[in-house]
Structure 1
Amino acid sequence: MSDLLDLPVTTLDGEPTTLGALAAGRAALVVNVASRCGLTPQYAQLEDLQREYGDRGFTVVGVPCNQFAGQEPGTAEEISTFCSATYGVTFPMTEKVEVNGDDAAPLYRLLTSVPDAAGEAGPVQWNFEKFLVAPDGAVLGRFRPRTEPASAEVRTAIEAALPR
């Protein structure tokens, strides 16, 4: 799965990079995010995870997406300002992408092939679906949107994925 780390992504600031460069040898929780969703308060828990585990080899990677009821309509600048001002987000963010369908970003074409705990792969269900990626690029877990970032299930998986 190291191919996952080599996939091109573009930062919210418009800089071309890869998932591997954004994660920089860390375990990463890749999350499709939106600013106007009922689940948007999960940003606070994602930032808490970033602050708690960041110095232990972990990062959140936020991936804005407007595919679900138009809940991320903003420009890159508006998204950045909202995340910073409202939730103090410090983790890296990519440009806005599609996560499902024919125009899905290459990153999500690979991620959505991974099953969740119930054994179901396939399209992202909604905003704030989470994928835990190991430092070597293996996808270790998939957590559906309503699974809170601060849940024991997510925390246990992150702790197991941290570099030794």
Structure 2
Amino acid sequence: MYNVCPACGQYSEEEIDPAGPHAVCPACGHRQRFRRLPLFVITGASGAGKTVVCLGLVEVLRECVVLESDILWRSEFDRPEEDYRTYRNLWLRLVKNIAQGRRPVVLCGSVVPDGFERCPERRYLSGIHYLALVCDDDELIRRLRARPVWRGSSDEA
């Protein structure tokens, strides 16, 4: 929605004017107003409890859109050499578009802050706030070993 200029049809994610805030088309100069809302990220190691927390937040944070980051995961995003940048930028683009409906996003998934901060779509957000879930190592191992085989984590613990 905000990467294609409504005036000339060109695609760009290169320039914004935070004072507006406006997306600015580099081809024709058209300025498209948009809302800059924060993103709230709940992160942590596999087994730390992100999914359980995410499910609970859906019930209590009615003013937010609560999402689990794994819903968009596909094998073509498995590119550690680029630090999963394509995947993370896709998430930020989705968050930017959801924000236009006046609701911030709470995203539950494994990410370090640098993973989002270097993405071009980051500029469309007013801020990113991180909460890292942690638990005792022995508890983490117990949780990973208790997972079903299809999750692929019980042998790694």
Classify the TM-score, shorter chain. Answer: 0.3 to 0.5
**What TM-score do you get using the length of structure 1 for normalisation?**
0.32
Give the helix-richer structure, 1 or 2: 2
Larger Rg: 2
